[in-house]
């Protein structure tokens, strides 16, 4: 049996790190300049890598932009420990702060709205969020948290649309500084109509919770095990 190549693991690790550097740098540049203004040289300079390294991982700027678009869900969902209806609420509460502080999420949102500028019409980012929200709602139904009339697929799509419009409104009004308040208000309006009576009182929804959840996501080393 041939001996394992001792250099393979370090090379793979470096490749993963380089890819992450490129995604982070691209997100920052796309967030600041939009797709049209985000030149490859700006991204390379921000990432501190060569053009060869970029084209090893990504076909071109459009492919890089698509990867940033598709990364939105992964910036939030792995950090949410709750289930059912509370999980759905918590995802949006974290999102309301992440959009103010996380360039990868911000760039993904910006590129999704600008995608026609680079010849793309792809609803995948919206559909992925909708499927995730529908999963939360199906768990909520199994846990007896939803009213009988609620259709999980329709409500999931509605929340995606509501959040999309809400963040655009908040961006114009306050550069999203008031997005947590708007998100809490959205759920105050929605929850009485969708949550079954026994579950309604147990759903936590407040700006304080939004900040606490976001803090645990943005500083995991300080709060591993600290749960809202």
For 6-24, the pLDDT digits (tens) are 555 677 788 888 888 899 9
Tokens of 214: 């976001």
Q: How much is the pLDDT for 9?
A: 67
Pick out the chain residues at pLDDT < 50: 1, 221-228
Q: Over the stretch 13-57, which tens digit does the pLDDT of each residue have? A: 888 888 888 999 999 999 999 999 999 999 999 989 888 888 888
Instruction: Tell me how far apart the alpha carbons of residues 199 and 142 are, in angstroms, rounded to a whole number.
Output: 12
Backbone angles phi and psi of 195, in degrees to 5: -90, 135
Contact 186, 170 (CB under 8 A): no
Residues 6+ apart with CB under 8 A from 99: 105, 106, 109, 167, 176, 179
3-class SS at 220? Answer: helix
pLDDT value for 2 = 52
Buried b / exposed e over 175-202, threshold 16 CB at 10 Å, is: ebeebbebbbebbeebeeebbbeebeee
Burial of 129 from C-beta contacts in 10 A (0-12 / 13-18 / 19+): buried
All residues at 6 or more sequence positions from 211 whose CB lies less than 8 Å from its CB, including other chains = 97, 180
pTM assigned to the model: 0.85
């Amino acid at each position: 049996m041939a001996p394992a190549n001792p250099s393979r693991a370090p090379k793979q690790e470096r490749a993963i790190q380089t890819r992450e550097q490129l995604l982070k740098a691209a997100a920052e540049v796309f967030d600041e300049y939009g797709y049209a203004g985000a030149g490859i040289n700006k991204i390379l300079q921000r990432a501190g890598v060569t053009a060869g390294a970029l084209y090893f991982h990504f076909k071109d700027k459009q492919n890089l932009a698509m990867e940033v678009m598709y990364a939105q869900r992964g910036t939030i969902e792995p950090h949410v420990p709750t289930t059912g209806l509370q999980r759905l609420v918590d995802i949006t509460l974290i999102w309301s702060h992440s959009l103010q502080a996380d360039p990868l999420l911000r760039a993904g949102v910006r590129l999704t709205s600008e995608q026609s500028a680079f010849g793309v019409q792809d609803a995948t980012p919206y559909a992925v969020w909708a499927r995730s929200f529908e999963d939360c709602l199906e768990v909520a139904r199994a846990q007896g948290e939803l009213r009988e009339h609620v259709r999980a697929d329709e409500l999931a799509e509605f929340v995606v649309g509501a959040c999309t419009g809400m963040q655009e409104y908040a961006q114009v009004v306050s550069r999203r500084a008031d997005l947590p308040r708007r998100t809490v208000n959205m759920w105050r309006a929605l929850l009485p109509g969708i949550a079954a009576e026994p579950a309604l009182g147990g759903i936590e929804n407040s700006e304080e919770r939004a900040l606490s959840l976001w803090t645990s996501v943005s500083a995991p080393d300080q709060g591993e095990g600290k749960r809202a």
